[in-house]
Structure 1
Amino acid sequence: MKHSYNNVKVDGGVWRLKWEPNKEEYLLSASMFNAAHIIDTSYNVANICQSFGEKINRLYYGADWCHQNDTQFQYDTKSKNKKIISTCSFYDHRLDLFFVNMKI
């Protein structure tokens, strides 16, 4: 491989990447010193579509999607486009859960 087909700048250094488990066009990034991001890779482009988390005094080293489908886990009956993601940070030993709206 001589070059990448696409790239996106997330800053802070990337520690972990996770594909959305049901439709692999969304990539979740734990971006060490710059919180977490959801990257939309559809249509052969890579764009940050959502960013979340505190950026001060935290080192994000983990992020993952909830792997249960909507029929197993009804956390919000108003929207089937909501997903749960988790992030973890190193120095403060913290796990955060986020509800995110997705166009999946």
Structure 2
Amino acid sequence: MTTFDDREKAFEAKYEHDEELKFKVNSRRNKLLGLWAASLMGKTGADAEAYAKDVVMADFEKPGDSDVVHKLMTDLAAAGKPADEHAIRKESHRLADEARQQIMTEVR
């Protein structure tokens, strides 16, 4: 193996690690967002956890966050707790930081 091959493998490993970390943070953020919305709708315990899982799964419908935001807006409105896109995205950004901290603590 040459030094170039070693560097290439190291860069590939770092990229793979970074992408996995990004996926975990995004999934955790969506779970926290689902729990936040569940609390607004008055869901607790197993109902809140199940709803949070539904929010995580909603993220796989389309690329980006629009599918999650749309689900939350629709569900909150149906529960009589309407929230606009800006409020949901603001909470999403706040929870992304919390999710990142949680994941980084688990990694250590």
TM over 0.5: no
Q: Give the TM-score, by structure 2 length.
A: 0.22
Name the structure where strand makes up a greater proportion of residues.
1
**Greater fraction helix:** 2
Q: Tell me the TM-score normalised to structure 1 length.
A: 0.22
Larger radius of gyration: 2
